[in-house]
Amino acid sequence: MTRDSKGMTLIEVLVALSVLSLLAVGMVATFRIGHRTYDRVLKADRTYWDVLVAQRFLRDALESAYPFEPGAGTSRARGLDGTAERLQLTAPGRLADSATGFRRLSFVLVRRMDGLEDLVTHSQLDRNGASDSETAAAAAGAEVLVSGVKTIEWGYFDAQGSVWRSTWSARRPPSLVRLRVEFPPGDSRRWPNLIVAPRITDDANCSFDVVAQACREPQS
């Protein structure tokens, strides 16, 4: 007894191979598109987190900025001092960096070889003005907060005059501090305007005036 067996014809084999080839091409194209999309998403996520981390660090420093009373032998109080492109302040050290005590932070622009600039912070121990020198600040540890920026602009809101100022050197900190960052054309990063209200207005050791209900201004 014999059993008839019927195989695939040549045309059927060619059709099956053609279908498999089309499926393979589609899978490769889908993989490439998915890989490019993943790279774009990963890049966007990385730049987003870079901006987020920088803004979080700046917000913490500005919120905790501490205004010192004048030290011995000087009439100049020490707190938040800034211009449109530079800012200095004193704030508690970060526990994540094992830093204790107050630190003097300087936020400056450093020009790069490609013509862009980096927003860099210098940090050093602050003993109520003992470390207030440009030389010491330049020698302190540096950390790049935002790289490859075109311009930055600090602003300081004066509540008494209800106006934004480009410089600040008063004993008390401004009501608000604003930082605008502009990236070069073609850069996908976005910097939402950072606006922070410093929480500490006076040194705990200030001379308090019970009549005015405020700290006495230092005498020149």
DSSP labels for 176-199?
A: EEEEEEEPPTT-----PPEEE--S
Q: Which of 101, 189, 200 is nearest to 145 (CA)?
A: 189
Mean pLDDT of 51-79: 77
The answer to whether residue 194 scores a pLDDT higher than 90 is yes
Predicted pLDDT at 100: 64
Each domain of the chain, given as residue ranges in start order, spans: 49-96+152-215
Please classify residue 140 by burial: count the beta carbons closer than 10 Å to its beta carbon, then call 0-12 exposed, 13-18 middle and 19+ buried: middle
Contacts of 68 (CB under 8 A, 6+ apart): 77, 78, 79, 90, 128, 129, 203
Mean pLDDT of 57-80: 75
Per residue in 71-106, pLDDT (tens digit) is: 555 555 577 889 999 999 988 876 555 556 788 889
DSSP 219: P
**Of residues 202 and 136, more confidently modeled:** 202
Predicted pLDDT at 132: 46
Per residue in 123-133, pLDDT (tens digit) is: 888 765 555 44
**Of residues 134 and 156, more confidently modeled:** 156
Q: What is the mean pLDDT of the chain?
A: 77
Token duo for residue 210: 């019970």
Predicted pLDDT at 126: 75
The answer to whether residue 138 scores a pLDDT higher than 50 is no
> Of the ranges 46-60, 127-141, 177-191, which one carries the lowest mean pLDDT score?
127-141
Q: What percent of the chain has pLDDT over 90?
A: 28
The answer to whether residue 195 scores a pLDDT higher than 90 is yes
Predicted pLDDT at 55: 92
The answer to whether residue 15 scores a pLDDT higher than 70 is yes
The overall pTM is greater than 0.95: no
**Residue pointed to by tokens 């100022």:** 165
Q: CB-hemisphere CA count at 13 Å for 178?
A: 12
